[in-house]
Amino acid sequence: MLLISLLYQKNLAYFIILSMHTGIFIEEAKERFIGYVKIDSQIEECYISSSSHLNKLINLKNKKVLLTENKGKNLRTRYTIQAVANKNSIILVNLNFVNSIVYEYLKQRYKNLEVKREVNIQNYKSDFYVPANKTIIEVKSMLSESETATFPSIYGERALRQLEKIYWLLQEGYNIDYYFIFLNSNIKNITLNNKYTEFNILFRQCLDKGLNVKYFYAKYKDNNFIVNEIKNSKSILIKSI
């Protein structure tokens, strides 16, 4: 269990890391979830909480990383990589905690309503669901070093099947909020990946059916990760093919 707590205010969720170590990232292992970090002149094998290799999304090599010490017995790794220092910002790379922050935000947004996590709805596994108003919330973490983030950055058949289910649920009368969480505060807009024509066309069709897109920044300040909704999002463009 990591030394982490969550606080929240209106439109904000605070992800607070109470005990932090630092190191220099060397490289990712060939296998997933493992990276090598130089800590106090020693090379440590560290845990990376991401199902895909981060080097496909961001260059970590020789950059300062923030780590927490793992608690437990017989663990392979001593540390988990939480964030990386990149130019003038700190970027959260522990993707497992993104939904935890969003959950705290949703509990404040829907104060008098039940918010459920990972609910199966008509064979679709939602990140969150508010039964009282039939609202499904899907969360997408955006990790990129450039001002323009590409979506989807990593594509597979599962992503297309998921979007097909979202389209069908919209037709069935469900409200669906699509949350983009910008882990890098330098991101200014999103472009749909022109490699995936079928996905892009279907995404535009979902928008036409009422898919509600919202944007959030995850920012690091005073040892806290602060996630807040971007209210004026007119400058954030989703460009189609």
- Answer yes or no: do 178 and 72 share one domain: no
What is the model's pLDDT at position 36?
A: 97
What is the model's pLDDT at position 89?
A: 79
The whole-angstrom separation of Cα 80 and Cα 51 is 14
User: Which helix (H) or strand (E) is 16 found in, with range?
Assistant: strand 12-17
What is the model's pLDDT at position 4?
A: 34
CATH number for position 13: 2.40.50.580
What is the model's pLDDT at position 218?
A: 84
Under 8 Å between Cβ of 66 and 77 = no
Q: Where are the alpha helices (DSSP H) in the chain?
A: 98-109, 157-171, 197-208
What is the model's pLDDT at position 224?
A: 67
The whole-angstrom separation of Cα 43 and Cα 182 is 30
* Structural domain count of the chain: 2
Of 72, 92, 112, which one is at a domain's C-terminal end?
92
- Answer yes or no: do 17 and 32 share one domain: yes
CATH number for position 145: 3.40.1350.60
- Answer yes or no: do 85 and 119 share one domain: no
- Taking only the tens place, the pLDDT of each residue in 43-86 is 999 999 887 888 888 889 999 999 999 988 889 999 999 999 88
- Answer yes or no: do 99 and 87 share one domain: no
- Answer yes or no: do 108 and 49 share one domain: no
Q: Which residues of the chain have pLDDT under 70?
A: 1-19, 155, 221-224, 226, 234-235, 237-241
The whole-angstrom separation of Cα 28 and Cα 45 is 9
Structural domain for 59, as ranges: 4-92
What is the model's pLDDT at position 147?
A: 86
- Answer yes or no: do 116 and 132 share one domain: yes
What is the model's pLDDT at position 7?
A: 38
